[in-house]
Amino acid sequence: MSKLNELNIASARDGLARGEFSAAELTEVYIQAIQAGRDMNAYITETPDVALERARESDARRAKGDAMGAMDGIPIAMKDLFCTEGVLTTAGSHILDGFVPPYESTVSANLRSAGAVMLGKSNLDEFAMGSANITSYYGPVKNPWKATSGPNQGKDLVPGGSSGGSAAAVAGGLAMAATGTDTGGSIRQPASFCGIVGLKPTYGRCSRWGVVAFASSLDQAGPMTKTVQDAAIMLGAMAGHDPKDSTSAPLPVPDFEALMTGDVKGLTIGIPKEYKMDGMDPEIQALWDQGIAWLKDAGCIIKEVSLPHTKYALATYYIVAPAEASANLARYDGVRYGLRVPGDSLDDMYMNTRGAGFGEEVQRRILIGTYALSSGYYDAYYIKAQKVRTLISNDFKTAFESVDAILTPTAPSAAFALGEKQEDPVAMYLNDVFTVPTSLAGLPGMSVPAGFSSTGLPLGLQVIGRSFDEGTVLNVGAALEKAAGLNLKAVTGASS
């Protein structure tokens, strides 16, 4: 029974179908693992009672022959950015103190109606703003991986961010899979740091309704899983058109698992030359070269492509995202929900509440965004960034005229130590250099574990696809996963 939390969605589906174990037994194993693994701080709120109730409902359905598909009875972590009815939702922020939504986000509702069992709400950077899960009001998350050598040997490492709790939970055996959200890399970068699969779907594939908003033109929910096949299964349960989100795409949800044919022969894979950056870590370059060789061996045609505006993507993102955030976060005013810090006047109450309720990184971004949108600077910053965004998006359109998918590294390094890179905000932003351009263009991108650093830490490669072509992304990702053949059990006791 103790091996139950080493299963993935696909293997658990088979075991549940054969009656080898019940959803309640499976859930119990995770509840115990979560209690034993609290030191990781992967969860803000544990929901064992909700989980067991839903697991028993799943077992009852199955006993009657009414099992609902692959996600029925699968225990997952829910990033604490998804509003969940009757369960505290914090967005990792002090300003949402005590907020218990009276409604359920569309994505979490979809997963619930597919039978998924919610184990709890996973930790994240405050309002999903961060790349190391160190900005959460509820404290940092520890990566279950430890370096086996080098200067960080034995130290606590960051899990990446912002979906750091989700990534750590899946890698550390505290959830079979998890939801994440990705605005500039928040699914893919932590997936790379924790040695799991993270898929940011095409913008519009999953509804944003009921997801605490960060940057509305970029935010997208997606699955974080142990395998590529699991990502296909889980995305199928999360996705779908939702009239309550006007940017949700009115498209049918394909059977993503069935699109994974295992055959990538003849596909053309683009290698963007601008991603070979000065000072790139040779280990990352070597991993990328290895990925190219694997796809070539699998029958892909490799083609160099140019995405000439790549170097402007981060600066563009750090205008667009904070501008949208400053507008979205205006709703936290101490009136309708969450924290209120009293003041002498209404204005005073607003200022006290927002001054105390937002952490440093969120305040920085609100200030940058407010400045970029303020009179006299709007054209120079915001409109300029939106124009460059068009150029970045056009780069991808041109590239995808001649390739079927693009292969890049996911992140410029392996997981770093807690406390590193905290002094300089721009140094932290560089973590997302390979993931932000995809987000600006709204394209699907997936990080797949592909190798290890010399210090024994997992490293991911990113597959980028055409709009709404997650099928090809998953197919190419599965080919990489197969070729890499990694043993990805997190190495937690490396001190010996």
Binding stretches for another protein (CB under 8 A): 98-102, 203-204, 217, 243, 246-247, 249-250, 309, 311-312, 315-316, 318-319, 326, 333-340, 342-352, 354-356, 358, 363-364, 366-368, 370-371, 374, 380-381, 383-391, 393, 424-426, 441-442, 467
Radius of gyration (C-alpha) of the chain in whole angstroms: 21
Nearer to another protein, 26 or 319 (CB): 319
Nearer to another protein, 244 or 265 (CB): 244
- Other residues' Cβ atoms within 10 Å of the Cβ of residue 274: 16
Nearer to another protein, 296 or 331 (CB): 331
186 tagged catalytic: yes
Nearer to another protein, 148 or 216 (CB): 216
- Marked catalytic residue, from 58, 79, 122, 421: 79
| In the complex, least distance from residue 340 CB atom to another protein, rounded to whole angstroms | 4
Q: Name the E strands within 184-318.
A: 197-200, 220-225, 268-272, 301-305
Structure tokens at 55: 């697991």
Query: Quick check: 192 and 450 in contact, CB under 8 A?
Result: no
Nearer to another protein, 21 or 312 (CB): 312
Residues 43 and 37: their CA atoms lie apart, in Å, by: 10
Residues 317 and 276: their CA atoms lie apart, in Å, by: 20
DSSP 13-69: HHHHHTTSS-HHHHHHHHHHHHHHTGGG--EEEE-HHHHHHHHHHHHHHHHTT---S
| In the complex, least distance from residue 448 CB atom to another protein, rounded to whole angstroms | 23
| In the complex, least distance from residue 353 CB atom to another protein, rounded to whole angstroms | 9
Nearest to 172 by CA among 149, 152, 145, 141: 145
Nearer to another protein, 37 or 92 (CB): 92
Beta-carbon contacts of 340 under 8 Å, excluding residues fewer than 6 positions away, are 334, 349, 353
Nearer to another protein, 134 or 169 (CB): 134
Beta-carbon contacts of 243 under 8 Å, excluding residues fewer than 6 positions away, are none
Residues 221 and 162: their CA atoms lie apart, in Å, by: 12
79 tagged catalytic: yes
| In the complex, least distance from residue 71 CB atom to another protein, rounded to whole angstroms | 27
200 tagged catalytic: no
Nearest to 189 by CA among 180, 181, 198, 201: 198
| In the complex, least distance from residue 78 CB atom to another protein, rounded to whole angstroms | 19
Structure tokens at 85: 């009815």
- Marked catalytic residue, from 22, 58, 136, 186: 186
Structure tokens at 410: 């996911």
Nearest to 418 by CA among 169, 193, 173: 193
| In the complex, least distance from residue 401 CB atom to another protein, rounded to whole angstroms | 17
Query: Quick check: 193 and 415 in contact, CB under 8 A?
Result: yes
Residues 30 and 34: their CA atoms lie apart, in Å, by: 6
Residues 335 and 350: their CA atoms lie apart, in Å, by: 9
| In the complex, least distance from residue 188 CB atom to another protein, rounded to whole angstroms | 17
Structure tokens at 156: 């606590």
| In the complex, least distance from residue 240 CB atom to another protein, rounded to whole angstroms | 15
Nearer to another protein, 162 or 220 (CB): 220
Active site residues: 79, 162, 186
